[in-house]
Structure 1
Amino acid sequence: MPVIMGTAGHIDHGKTTLIKALTGIDCDRLSEEKKRGITIELGFAFLDLGEDNRLGIVDVPGHEKFVKNMVAGAAGVDFVVLVIAADEGIMPQTREHLEICQLLGVSAGLVALTKIDMVDEEWLEMVKEEVAAYLEPTFLGGAPILPVSAHTGQGLDELKAELRKLVAEFKPRRRSDLFRLPVDRVFTMKGHGTVVTGTMISGAISLGEDVTLYPGSTTSKVRGLQSHGETVETAQAGRRTAVNLAGLEVDDVRRGDVLARPGSLFPSDVWDIELTVLESSRLPLKHRREIHFHHGAREVLARIHLLDRDELAPGETAVCQARFSEPMAGVWGDRVVLRSFSPLRAFAGGRVIGPAGHSIKRFSKDVELLGQLASDKPEEVASAQLELAGPKGVSFAELLTMTNLETKGLEKTLGLLGGQQRAVLFDKESRRYAGGALVDRLASGLLDFLAEYHRRESMKPGVQRGELASSWGRELPPKLMHYLLERLLKKGDIEADQEVFRLKGHKVSLASDQAKVRETILDAYSQGGATPPNLKDVLESLGMDAKQAAPVLRLLQDQGDLVRIKDDMYYHAPALNGIRESIIGFFAGHEEMSAPDFKDITGLSRKYLIPVLEYFDKEKLTVRVGDVRRLRKRS
């Protein structure tokens, strides 16, 4: 797998000169760099190690004013060569660069002790001992310390041999198949247009593919690719890559933008992060402190919100939130560096555990769940992401960024969680998931709601789907609401009559006086048949008004005993069905039916005739054509 090497070290310790001696490539390309004799911008080179093994190299500036450029370059490296001049030894940026590499998760490398032609043997041995002692508690403790001279060539072969050995033994960090290239340089190439370069940190990209620049939404197409100086059709992760973008101007691209596939990243102005303050920091990190936040090749202002304390002391680690001045596009596990305003130096860093920050209240129980996002177990991370996302759920594409798993790995993890009922696929079309514990709580809440509804509306057979969605389920995605109902129906906890839902075994319960009212009204309309009584007269006999009788009338309709024709006109359902059959029978021998025809076959007076005809028009049994009715054609 391709490997990227980065340099680190104090200004004028010979990083760029050493790279040129190793590769023949001068990384100082700017006229100002050549004039001042210092590296300002990132430089790039490659070293052929044999057997088709080409090592990518990122050369970083050593001056304290350009540490932000150093961070941008170091963000994509796999291992580091710490360059220390033998005539000066350990200097301020030696220390800061080493700390930045530590914060970025770099865990391997070696030391190049340069300018040995400028010191004697005794001094050289003393410096080697000093460097070894200083590095002992760091990730470079015990790493090879190789004396070299870029001017005489002494030690270069030994350095190359050690690099070859390091690359052969190096195990690159796990990379997902999500294509991402943080842009650290953008320029125009005559005859080609806009070109962006960066270290491809994951995935692969091919000629002709559509791409998007995040955190914005600028889209383009890949019209050309170069990897380690060679033109290719497909570029792989772990390589320095140049991408020629179609239809874009240089001003359309900002350093720190991330090139990825459309719809694959989800910018947010809040991130959850696991943060460590360096032991060398002079002061603790206080809640809501504003800092310089470095991620990939981007630097933005951010405010750090501590969630379980008021300050984070040097050497301590905690989960917290970074709130940005502009949206950022990241992935779980990305490394970040925090730099203070005064003095302007790196003092903390860590990794992203929630690239779409969650709504977390300080000192709440959710802070503990947030800590689960820092787990090394993918199923624990995915489960916590689902629970923290709440009812809106998370799509498969979002989960790829929230777990940094390969596609197959995420599918396997979700399958495992699904078997444990910790993940629920509630929207198959959009591949959207919710946390299992959350769904259980929602299902229990829905049952409680139905129980309360039955208590409050004892004369209703249940609650309509629309009413349920607009009241209890108003904050839920419709697909999740549907999933919950289907799940409870399947388990037998609820029953449904078309679009009306009720608890299993629920029966309409009437008080004794309400039961008497129901019987009286039903009896009156049953006796009335095709010429039903006036509702007002029926209610006067009961000593009631329409408002008092409304629940019983609604129940009679819900149970299918009465049918409301218009306003206060009701029909006993069997009587209305008889009229329906008479109409259908008439049309068996006729094409049209006039109002007089309808009166002849039913004997209805005008009081009932017109409303009943209009009712059957609304019911789509008949259709009015001029002054006659015709039977609607049925499929």
Structure 2
Amino acid sequence: MRTIGGGHILNPIPEKHKRFREEIITGLAGLADSDPVDVIGFHVKQSGYAGLLFSDLKLMTNLPEKPLQNAISTLLAGRVLVQTDKENRVFVHRDNIDSLVAEAIQQLKSYHEKNPLKAGMSKEELKSKLPPSMDGKLFTLLLNHMKKSDDIILEEDLVRLFSFTVSMKIDQEDVSRRILAVYQKDGLTPPYFKDLSETLNINSSTAKDVLMLLVEQGKITKVKEDMFFSKQAIEDLKKRLVDFFQTKDELTTPEFKEIAGVSRKYLIPLIEYFDSKNVTIRVGDSRRLRNG
């Protein structure tokens, strides 16, 4: 510990605090005679979600590198500290991570209550709801920790509570049946979604939530914004498309139109959809079957 003019320097690089905060005063008062392990734990906890660099701790504690590393290793082994960035040697206190877990769970719970038909919250949205001092590496560590602890389920970009399941009310189940019936009936010539909600006289917000649930369930396929098809219609067209390539190497747009039997309104989105799904590949003005 450093001294200046007979006084002890408890923290040479302190953060700004409100005056007379009891926990800060108590914590600092105990530093003078504390074990290095306790001193390090105190400083890291006070750093919040940003954590502290090894170099910060070296300056704060005035310890030589080896004793400092030994003390940190003890705290890591005891799960008091977590290293969130190995390259830059950043450490965050376990209590602060537990606090983040609780906050993330609360945010997800609130989201599920407001959006019972959505499979989960996007990672980006969840991160935006958590303290801004938390960086990307800590957020990734947080998600992995919560997944390992069975707090959450991760599916691509979505996060949901482990206990959450999508559930529809009776009126929403009716909306689901009506929407699905239209797409199954109209095959490759369905209405735009905005027209569908008006035709069925369904609240557009409810209809969109139900539609996206049908997409997530694999019953409806999204080809482009506002253009959806029944899964069966797309699968049937895909089969006819692949069968075409059994006898020919290339497919022209007019030939695809003949296979699909649709107008240009649907033709271009459909052929571009199969390109995006690696079924076909564009070569000049024609398409070829993509190998593999």
Which position in structure 1 is the counterpart of 2:158?
500
What's the CA shift for 1:482? 0.7
Which position in structure 1 is the counterpart of 2:94?
436
Alignment of 1:397-408 (within 5 A): 397-408=55-66
Which amino acid in the other structure matches residue 359 of structure 1? K
What's the CA shift for 1:350? 1.2
Which amino acid in the other structure matches residue 336 of structure 1? I
Alignment of 1:109-120 (within 5 A): none
Deviations 1:600-634 (A, max 9, x none): 33333333212211223344543434321234566
Match of 1:516 among 174, 182, 194: 174
Q: SS where residue 391 of structure 1 aligns?
A: coil
Which amino acid in the other structure matches residue 551 of structure 1? D
Q: 1:372/1:520 Cα in 2 relative to 1: closer, same or farther (>3 Å)? A: farther
Alpha-carbon distance in structure 2 between the residues aligned to 1:503 and 1:570: 29
Match of 1:627 among 274, 285, 290: 285
Which amino acid in the other structure matches residue 357 of structure 1? P
Alpha-carbon distance in structure 2 between the residues aligned to 1:470 and 1:622: 38
CA contact (8 A) 2:107 2:126 kept: no
Task: Note if 1:467 corresponds to 2:137.
Answer: no
Match of 1:426 among 66, 70, 84: 84
Unaligned ranges ≥5, structure 1:
1-332, 338-348
Task: Note if 1:352 corresponds to 2:26.
Answer: no
Alignment of 1:254-293 (within 5 A): none
CA contact (8 A) 1:473 1:481 kept: no
% identical equivalent positions: 35
> Higher helix proportion, which one?
2
Alpha-carbon distance in structure 2 between the residues aligned to 1:451 and 1:610: 41
CA contact (8 A) 2:152 2:160 kept: yes
CA contact (8 A) 1:458 1:510 kept: yes
Which position in structure 2 is the counterpart of 1:325?
none
Alignment of 1:372-387 (within 5 A): 372-387=30-45
CA contact (8 A) 2:175 2:202 kept: no
Deviations 1:303-347 (A, max 9, x none): xxxxxxxxxxxxxxxxxxxxxxxxxxxxxx22223xxxxxxxxxx
What's the CA shift for 1:478? 0.6
Alpha-carbon distance in structure 2 between the residues aligned to 1:562 and 1:445: 34
Which amino acid in the other structure matches residue 485 of structure 1? L
Which position in structure 2 is the counterpart of 1:190?
none
Q: 1:375/1:483 Cα in 2 relative to 1: closer, same or farther (>3 Å)? A: farther
TM-score, structure 2 normalization: 0.89
Once the two structures are overlaid, the 10-residue window that deviates more, 390-399 or 433-442, is 390-399
Alpha-carbon distance in structure 1 between the residues aligned to 2:87 and 2:120: 30
Which amino acid in the other structure matches residue 395 of structure 1? L
Which position in structure 2 is the counterpart of 1:334?
2
Which amino acid in the other structure matches residue 626 of structure 1? G
Which position in structure 2 is the counterpart of 1:362?
19
Which position in structure 2 is the counterpart of 1:66?
none
Q: 1:401/1:633 Cα in 2 relative to 1: closer, same or farther (>3 Å)? A: farther
Match of 1:390 among 43, 48, 57: 48
CA contact (8 A) 2:10 2:31 kept: yes
Which position in structure 2 is the counterpart of 1:452?
110
Deviations 1:216-254 (A, max 9, x none): xxxxxxxxxxxxxxxxxxxxxxxxxxxxxxxxxxxxxxx
Alignment of 1:208-227 (within 5 A): none
Which position in structure 1 is the counterpart of 2:233?
575
Q: SS where residue 560 of structure 1 aligns?
A: coil
CA contact (8 A) 2:257 2:263 kept: yes
Alpha-carbon distance in structure 2 between the residues aligned to 1:587 and 1:392: 57
Q: SS where residue 630 of structure 1 aligns?
A: strand
Unaligned ranges ≥5, structure 2:
none
Which amino acid in the other structure matches residue 578 of structure 1? D
Alpha-carbon distance in structure 1 between the residues aligned to 2:55 and 2:243: 60
Q: SS where residue 502 of structure 1 aligns?
A: strand
CA contact (8 A) 1:623 1:630 kept: yes
Task: Note if 1:411 corresponds to 2:69.
Answer: yes
CA contact (8 A) 1:379 1:413 kept: yes
What's the CA shift for 1:438? 1.0
Deviations 1:154-201 (A, max 9, x none): xxxxxxxxxxxxxxxxxxxxxxxxxxxxxxxxxxxxxxxxxxxxxxxx
What's the CA shift for 1:395? 1.8
> Higher strand proportion, which one?
1
Which position in structure 2 is the counterpart of 1:531?
189
Alpha-carbon distance in structure 1 between the residues aligned to 2:153 and 2:206: 29
Alpha-carbon distance in structure 1 between the residues aligned to 2:282 and 2:108: 43
Count how many residue pairs are aligned between Structure 1 and Structure 2. Answer: 291
CA contact (8 A) 1:372 1:384 kept: no
What's the CA shift for 1:464? 1.2
Alignment of 1:162-201 (within 5 A): none
> Rg bigger for which structure?
1
TM-score, structure 1 normalization: 0.43
Task: Note if 1:546 corresponds to 2:204.
Answer: yes
CA contact (8 A) 2:220 2:231 kept: yes
Deviations 1:427-469 (A, max 9, x none): 2232211011111111111111111111121111111112222
Deviations 1:335-393 (A, max 9, x none): 223xxxxxxxxxxx412222221231112233323334434300111001101111111
RMSD over aligned CA atoms reads 2.4
Q: Which has the higher contact order (CA 8 A, sep 6+)?
A: 2
Alpha-carbon distance in structure 1 between the residues aligned to 2:219 and 2:283: 31
Alpha-carbon distance in structure 2 between the residues aligned to 1:464 and 1:440: 21
CA contact (8 A) 1:354 1:373 kept: no
Q: SS where residue 610 of structure 1 aligns?
A: helix
Deviations 1:545-590 (A, max 9, x none): 5345222223223333322323432111232233334434434553
Q: SS where residue 360 of structure 1 aligns?
A: coil
Which position in structure 2 is the counterpart of 1:591?
249
Q: 1:376/1:499 Cα in 2 relative to 1: closer, same or farther (>3 Å)? A: same
Alpha-carbon distance in structure 1 between the residues aligned to 2:11 and 2:149: 35
Which amino acid in the other structure matches residue 367 of structure 1? I
Which position in structure 2 is the counterpart of 1:115?
none
Deviations 1:88-136 (A, max 9, x none): xxxxxxxxxxxxxxxxxxxxxxxxxxxxxxxxxxxxxxxxxxxxxxxxx
Q: 1:412/1:537 Cα in 2 relative to 1: closer, same or farther (>3 Å)? A: same
Alpha-carbon distance in structure 2 between the residues aligned to 1:581 and 1:369: 70
Q: SS where residue 48 of structure 2 aligns?
A: helix
Alpha-carbon distance in structure 1 between the residues aligned to 2:34 and 2:24: 19
What's the CA shift for 1:597? 1.9
